[in-house]
Amino acid sequence: MKIKCPACSQVLTIPDSAAGKVVKCPCGKQLRAPAAGPGNPASTPASTSASRPAAGAAGGGGPRRATNPAATARDFDPEMFDELTDQDLKPVKGVTNPYASVSAAPHGAAVGDRELAGVGSRIAGAIVDALFTYLFVGIGVGIAIYVLLQAGEQASSGVTAAAYSAIGVASLIPVVINCVLIAKSGQSVGKKVAGTRMIDQESRTPVGFVQGYLVRTMVFGALCQIPLIGFVIAIVDIVFLFTDQNHQTLHDKLAKTLVVQA
């Protein structure tokens, strides 16, 4: 007999012996197959006599009648499925979630429908991000030097403050740009150039500002500033990039992120 899954609309072909029992669609939906009856051409006499009445049927009586396979595929009757109970679900085998464990992915393989970014791509993205930041810092420093030179030795405190402010503002520009990009797409400027993206290791969706920048960059950066310990953390972070099977660095593990091909 054939039934149609109400969740994914896939037409399932099931044996006559499954009549009246709970079956599971490949999409994960658990549903009850219609009980065999006299009007079901797919039922044999033996299965007809062994069929059980549907729960809640009018008059508490006869088995629920299913249409022929072609009609069932076209016209789905949601009432032919009874409400499932714990007893009904006992024979149903659990389906293993292939995305449940990130660590199960072999080295260099895809994780779910995402291809892990290689070490080269990650290094290239980091270099571009660094150059992008240094470009604006350099512009700020250049403006500051120009202002101080114009003021000469008689530069007032206000001129000096303006020069240092130029460096600070210029340094913030790449930070703001990267924050906006990460919040929208999970990509910094360097990752866009390298063709990579940050995603959550559980949901496989692009990360937002908190996970992708605040935790992954700012919190980890603060840890690296701890005297003595910070240097060790930074070195171990780099080592993990080359040794972890998913190329997860320490800051990836802290934020629970993966870097994949965009």
Q: Residue 2: in which H helix or E strand, if any?
A: strand 2-4
Please indicate, yes or no, whether residues 6 and 48 belong to a single structural domain of this protein: yes
Residue 242 pLDDT: 94
d(CA 261, CA 204): 12
Residue 15 pLDDT: 83
- Is 102 part of a structural domain of the chain? no
Please indicate, yes or no, whether residues 118 and 10 belong to a single structural domain of this protein: no
Of 95, 121, 146, the residue at which a domain comes to its end is 95
Beta bridge partners of 48: none
DSSP 8-state code for residue 116? B
- Is 22 part of a structural domain of the chain? yes
Please indicate, yes or no, whether residues 169 and 232 belong to a single structural domain of this protein: yes
Please indicate, yes or no, whether residues 59 and 127 belong to a single structural domain of this protein: no
Residue 111 pLDDT: 57
Please indicate, yes or no, whether residues 123 and 63 belong to a single structural domain of this protein: no
- What range does the domain containing 37 cover? 2-95
- Is 182 part of a structural domain of the chain? yes
Please indicate, yes or no, whether residues 83 and 137 belong to a single structural domain of this protein: no
d(CA 158, CA 162): 6
- Is 204 part of a structural domain of the chain? yes
Nearest to 25 by CA among 5, 52, 45: 5
Question: b vs e for 164-182, b when ≥16 Cβ sit within 10 Å of the residue's Cβ?
Answer: eebbeebbebbeeebbebb
Residue 135 pLDDT: 96
- Is 105 part of a structural domain of the chain? no
Of 49, 67, 95, the residue at which a domain comes to its end is 95
- Compute the C-alpha angle 97/109/117, nearest 5°: 115
Of 95, 125, 153, the residue at which a domain comes to its end is 95
Please indicate, yes or no, whether residues 137 and 85 belong to a single structural domain of this protein: no
Look up tokens 């290094």; give the residue: 123
Residue 239 pLDDT: 95
pLDDT in 10s for each residue of the chain, 262 residues? 787 888 787 888 888 877 778 878 888 788 777 776 554 544 444 343 334 444 444 444 444 444 454 444 444 454 444 444 555 545 444 444 544 444 444 434 455 567 899 999 999 999 999 999 999 999 999 999 988 888 877 768 888 888 889 999 999 999 999 999 999 999 999 999 999 999 999 988 999 999 999 999 999 999 999 998 999 999 999 999 999 999 999 999 999 999 999 8
Q: Describe the chain by its helix, strand, coil percentages, rounded to 5.
A: 50, 10, 35
- Is 212 part of a structural domain of the chain? yes
Please indicate, yes or no, whether residues 171 and 236 belong to a single structural domain of this protein: yes
Number of domains comprising the chain = 2
